[in-house]
A and B are shown apart, each in its own frame.
Chain A
């Protein structure tokens, strides 16, 4: 497996050619209202439970991510191997920056590789909720959508899963829609002052 992975060429971003750092709109003295970047991941697995075996699937998900307990509906937890997002009553997404081997399920759940099906955009900055309020109808106030919250909604007509971590919001968007959505975010976001940054810079900043 490891040998095979070494042979893999780089995965091309759905936003390739559109990620160059730049600013849009007016950047005030307090800095940009919104910072935006793509945060690629290596693996994204969907774990789907059978209704009567939910506990077993939860244990499997927790095992994959290396967390004590898999999160409940609308919640997310970052584990040491992967982040788990409970996106549906019966479904988790396990997202990891390093490649995850195909999980063994023993029939307790189904797992599905969606590593190339999503693009992860990260939205930070004081106006991030204001920008999202221009795009989706869900209640994004901090007390309802704070750290560790997950919601799947529609933005510009395509399905997007939002996950809130600390001072940032991650948007898991369908790969084929990613560029269209990225451009939409930049256009609508310009009023708040957008700083498009490189993901590596953000990691360092953290």
Chain B
């Protein structure tokens, strides 16, 4: 009563055994088997349980349309649910498990659901649970939890995906999808025209349908024809195990290649899979067709297969589903299957719904020993855990069925016609068109560069399909060469006369007939949906979930919509089909991430000093893509909280050294560079002398502050602009845009030199002492290098001298120098200066201490310049020139931007010593602690310069002068705390600048 391996035949390597386990038990198959064929050969019939009713299910198909044999593969982090057994290539050590069943698929307690079928009809959740008590959604949400427990198929691993995936870009002249006879011929023809060809095939074998096939193609024995084509294709890029899952705008095609799934011990360096993003000039879809069943009683029992699948198992795998077989058809195709089965020794019966089949077909079948019943249909399958028999009946011209007898056959093959695989072209928005004669949907007119051939184009006769494929390929080749070419006009056909049949119904009998076995949708569900007003095919799909499982309705979709059409009393054409969307078959979600995960999620930018800093105990933090030294630990017990005030104090008291390489650096070159800067910055740059620096602020067009930084005039026509780390890229892009679109007449070039220069800031009263000790040449005295001066010098380092650009700039408020050297010597500079700094009692400092120093000094950063801030808000209003136009000059005058009540930069001090507040907190009036308040806090630090107290910087309406006598509240609703604060002048640390000038 179960499947077995034939003594001979099949494209399997009988000398190469493959051992695998199914539900913990050991089995074996052969190289070339799928899990489905090996289990069938081993006599296993029940491989799965249905989604809702937990009815036993077996192999139903031999491809991605499989709706029955869904299994779970692998264990642990590599567990994968809902794999289709008919698509799993067998390998040594494969482990597969039944799913959606307890304790196992052969004996599943969940089968009780089958007895409660009436409750699980379409829309049952909504009807059953909504409004059961009261009207609210609360009850529904409680039931939903229970339903979610019961629903779903299999369980995905919750561990991180242990495998790697690649996203690979490919270009070619012609991409042929599908390596059946038509695909092979199309690819060969394209190659012969000197075109660059990629051929993708979802199966692990090329020309899978040709394996074990008899007959001839183009006058050559089928097997030999296949071999000749494969040899001819050696110059093409051939991708087996690769499914085209989507066809997108511009004819970009997404392929998913399974790289290691079929390997017992894969090379660990190989990715598990690759998404190929192919940009072909021409796409030829030779994707074949998918056979569809029709519905009859208990047509989901293990042992009911598609007729073509029976043929595939017999021919390609040398496996019979049972000793006896009943085939049932409405077209000519199943006659071939019948002949194959009879020849393999199966007791074969063929039911043809057509009262008068083609005579020649009939005669050949009978001569081969096939018992044929014309004008007959299957009524109901006998047997619960597998086919034991088939009740059949006659069908008259009115479609009325009269049961006649039961045939005791152990397998049933069904052919209700074929659906060309037009999914990919539909992804481009091409509507399928109903072909009455062939009873199938064909593609509408595809966009340029896409053609269909073979069964995908409705051409089922093999010789005609191959001829069509060659003609299509040649026409495409001509088109690519710029010549006009007429596409071939071949009429669809090759299945004989089809008598459309969607369902077998017997008056007065209640049959459970499945349309979508994967989602347990029955013919009654479709009718019920129609009766309840779900008249559109898209609504019916969502109500019944027909076609929403992993097979996406590849077999049942057309049957379902035909039944809907029937129920509504309209044509199939008028009813239409649901839209196909990518992916054609499931793709592991990790494959779409490609390498962009973990360490490769994004690149890391490193300054040349990072390694030297790490050696001195630096902890790093992310600043965009950069790693920046955050703080320097003096020992294992040291903490950030202890370190940063210590580092900041070192700068105030002696000297500190900080890496400023991450600042954006932009070379601005050309005779109009000065004029350009003068237009970009709010303050004047036209008269900046050579060898001097100037702090500048630039606005956006809308008058809000964009970025700030110091620009150095290196020579007559060359400036070095610095931008904030955060905005470096955006500033360069903005400058390019201005030059290219607004002021193309300016002779200015801009280029990033961020990577060219490594920079440090050396700050503190002892900064000059340290610098002078390090220098081999140059003069940094106050006379030679005043505040905002610039000079060139040589720094003596181990192994020689390095050239340096030194500017007298201060971000900390102390006497400070920024020293830039070419990046390749950045490490040497850091290593040279650190011991000198330490000898003066100073220290290297990190980003946290840098923040402390700038908060104390009242300097703004990206935290303040957040795209909402005006010059005045930042306390920089006086910088704006009144003598020249600049970007943003007009719109910054808008009334809303000039109100005196706008939040302005200020310092905030807790009234009670020791109390603190946090960045992001809201500044409120004590009587109105609500809403957005009067302002917000942008930075908080423990401040060595202000007696070691907590100090905040931020904004408050009207600025500090408005609150000179009023205590405010810093409200932190997230932490649930309010802190009383005094508002102070943000520029009260060394207000005259004596420390940095001095």
Interface set of A (CB-CB < 8 Å, partner B): 4, 6-14, 16-17, 24-26, 46, 48, 50, 90, 107, 110, 112-118, 133-134, 136-141, 143-144, 156-158, 174-177, 179-181, 183-184, 187-188, 190-191, 193
Answer yes or no: B608 CB below 8 A from chain A CBs.
yes
Give A176 to B196 CA distance when docked, in angstroms. 38
Give A181 to B599 CA distance when docked, in angstroms. 11
Instruction: Point out the residues of chain A lying under 8 angstroms from B801, CB to CB.
Output: 4, 7-9
Instruction: Point out the residues of chain A lying under 8 angstroms from B794, CB to CB.
Output: 7
- Nearest CB on B from A44, distance (A): 9
- Nearest CB on B from A125, distance (A): 15
Q: Once the chains bind, are A191 and B605 in contact (CB under 8 Å)? A: no
Q: Once the chains bind, are A191 and B271 in contact (CB under 8 Å)? A: yes
Answer yes or no: B824 CB below 8 A from chain A CBs.
yes
- Nearest CB on A from B801, distance (A): 4
Q: A26-B267, A117-B753 are in contact. Are A112 and B667 (CB under 8 A)?
A: yes
Q: Once the chains bind, are B269 and A48 in contact (CB under 8 Å)? A: no
Contact pick for B756, options A12, A114, A138, CB 8 Å: A114
- Nearest CB on B from A204, distance (A): 25
Q: Once the chains bind, are A191 and B168 in contact (CB under 8 Å)? A: no
Instruction: Point out the residues of chain A lying under 8 angstroms from B232, CB to CB.
Output: none
Contact pick for A12, options B267, B608, B667, CB 8 Å: B608
Q: Once the chains bind, are A12 and B824 in contact (CB under 8 Å)? A: yes
Q: Kindly name the residue among B751, B801, B824 whose own CB sees the greatest number of chain A CB atoms within 10 A.
A: B824
A115-B756, A118-B755, A180-B606 are known contacts; what are 9 more A-B pairs with Cβ within 8 Å? A46-B751, A112-B667, A112-B751, A133-B170, A134-B168, A144-B171, A176-B626, A177-B625, A191-B270
Q: Once the chains bind, are B756 and A157 in contact (CB under 8 Å)? A: no
Q: Once the chains bind, are A176 and B170 in contact (CB under 8 Å)? A: no
Instruction: Point out the residues of chain A lying under 8 angstroms from B166, CB to CB.
Output: 134, 188, 191
Beta-carbon nearest neighbor of B267 in chain A: A26
Contact pick for A8, options B267, B717, B753, B802, CB 8 Å: B802
A and B contact pairs by CB, cutoff 8 A, 29 listed? A4-B801, A6-B800, A7-B800, A7-B801, A8-B802, A9-B825, A12-B827, A14-B606, A14-B608, A16-B827, A26-B267, A26-B269, A46-B751, A110-B717, A113-B756, A116-B823, A117-B756, A117-B823, A133-B170, A134-B167, A138-B169, A157-B602, A157-B603, A157-B625, A158-B603, A175-B823, A176-B605, A177-B625, A188-B595
Q: Which B residues from 591 to 636 make CB contacts under 8 A with A?
A: 595, 599-600, 602-608, 611, 625-626
Q: Once the chains bind, are B822 and A115 in contact (CB under 8 Å)? A: yes
Beta-carbon nearest neighbor of B750 in chain A: A48
Q: Once the chains bind, are A11 and B824 in contact (CB under 8 Å)? A: yes
Q: Once the chains bind, are A184 and B603 in contact (CB under 8 Å)? A: yes
- Nearest CB on A from B617, distance (A): 18
Q: Once the chains bind, are A177 and B800 in contact (CB under 8 Å)? A: no
Give A138 to B757 CA distance when docked, in angstroms. 30
Q: Once the chains bind, are B269 and A117 in contact (CB under 8 Å)? A: no
- Nearest CB on A from B171, distance (A): 4
Instruction: Point out the residues of chain A lying under 8 angstroms from B168, CB to CB.
Output: 133-134
Q: A12-B828, A116-B822, A175-B755 are in contact. Are A24 and B603 (CB under 8 A)?
A: no
Answer yes or no: B710 CB below 8 A from chain A CBs.
no
Contact pick for B269, options A10, A24, A141, CB 8 Å: A24
- Nearest CB on B from A20, distance (A): 15
Instruction: Point out the residues of chain A lying under 8 angstroms from B751, CB to CB.
Output: 46, 48, 112, 114
Answer yes or no: B735 CB below 8 A from chain A CBs.
no
Summed over the interface, the residue pairs from A and B with CB atoms below 8 Å come to a total of 143
B contacts with A: majority SS: mixed
Give A180 to B601 CA distance when docked, in angstroms. 11
Instruction: Point out the residues of chain A lying under 8 angstroms from B827, CB to CB.
Output: 12, 16
Answer yes or no: B895 CB below 8 A from chain A CBs.
no
Contact pick for B670, options A10, A110, A156, A157, CB 8 Å: A110
Task: Give per-residue flags for B239-278: 1 if the beta carbon is below 8 A from chain A beta carbons, else 0.
Answer: 0000000000000000000000000000101110000010
Q: Once the chains bind, are A179 and B606 in contact (CB under 8 Å)? A: yes
Beta-carbon nearest neighbor of A183 in chain B: B599
Beta-carbon nearest neighbor of B605 in chain A: A176
Instruction: Point out the residues of chain B lying under 8 angstroms from A14, CB to CB.
Output: 606, 608, 823
Answer yes or no: B24 CB below 8 A from chain A CBs.
no
Instruction: Point out the residues of chain A lying under 8 angstroms from B196, CB to CB.
Output: 141, 143
Give A26 to B270 CA distance when docked, in angstroms. 10
Q: Once the chains bind, are A9 and B828 in contact (CB under 8 Å)? A: yes
Q: Which B residues from 549 to 603 make CB contacts under 8 A with A?
A: 595, 599-600, 602-603
Give A175 to B603 CA distance when docked, in angstroms. 12
Give A7 to B798 CA distance when docked, in angstroms. 11
Q: Once the chains bind, are B600 and A156 in contact (CB under 8 Å)? A: yes
Answer yes or no: B127 CB below 8 A from chain A CBs.
no
Give A13 to B798 CA distance when docked, in angstroms. 16
Give A175 to B828 CA distance when docked, in angstroms. 16
Instruction: Point out the residues of chain B lying under 8 angstroms from A9, CB to CB.
Output: 797-802, 825, 828
Closest 5 CB pairs of A and B: A9-B799, A11-B824, A25-B269, A190-B269, A117-B756
Answer yes or no: B669 CB below 8 A from chain A CBs.
yes
- Nearest CB on B from A193, distance (A): 8
Instruction: Point out the residues of chain B lying under 8 angstroms from A176, CB to CB.
Output: 605-607, 626, 661, 754-755
Q: Which B residues from 63 to 120 make CB contacts under 8 A with A?
A: none
- Nearest CB on A from B758, distance (A): 8
Beta-carbon nearest neighbor of B718 in chain A: A110
Beta-carbon nearest neighbor of A47 in chain B: B749
- Nearest CB on B from A9, distance (A): 3
Instruction: Point out the residues of chain B lying under 8 angstroms from A25, CB to CB.
Output: 267, 269
Give A107 to B673 CA distance when docked, in angstroms. 13
Instruction: Point out the residues of chain A lying under 8 angstroms from B799, CB to CB.
Output: 9-10
Instruction: Point out the residues of chain A lying under 8 angstroms from B169, CB to CB.
Output: 133-134, 136-138
- Nearest CB on A from B725, distance (A): 12
- Nearest CB on A from B738, distance (A): 16
Give A180 to B595 CA distance when docked, in angstroms. 13
Instruction: Point out the residues of chain A lying under 8 angstroms from B164, CB to CB.
Output: 187
Contact pick for B605, options A177, A190, A193, CB 8 Å: A177
Instruction: Point out the residues of chain B lying under 8 angstroms from A174, CB to CB.
Output: 755
Answer yes or no: B747 CB below 8 A from chain A CBs.
yes
Q: Which B residues from 797 to 850 make CB contacts under 8 A with A?
A: 797-802, 822-828
- Nearest CB on A from B737, distance (A): 15
Instruction: Point out the residues of chain A lying under 8 angstroms from B600, CB to CB.
Output: 156, 184, 187
Q: Once the chains bind, are A137 and B603 in contact (CB under 8 Å)? A: no
Instruction: Point out the residues of chain B lying under 8 angstroms from A188, CB to CB.
Output: 166, 595
Q: Once the chains bind, are A17 and B611 in contact (CB under 8 Å)? A: yes
Instruction: Point out the residues of chain A lying under 8 angstroms from B167, CB to CB.
Output: 134
Answer yes or no: B689 CB below 8 A from chain A CBs.
no
- Nearest CB on B from A17, distance (A): 7
Instruction: Point out the residues of chain A lying under 8 angstroms from B279, CB to CB.
Output: 139
Instruction: Point out the residues of chain A lying under 8 angstroms from B718, CB to CB.
Output: 110
Instruction: Point out the residues of chain B lying under 8 angstroms from A112, CB to CB.
Output: 667, 669, 749, 751, 753
Q: Once the chains bind, are B749 and A110 in contact (CB under 8 Å)? A: yes
- Nearest CB on B from A192, distance (A): 8
- Nearest CB on B from A72, distance (A): 20
Beta-carbon nearest neighbor of A145 in chain B: B171
- Nearest CB on A from B529, distance (A): 44
- Nearest CB on A from B673, distance (A): 9
Instruction: Point out the residues of chain B lying under 8 angstroms from A113, CB to CB.
Output: 756
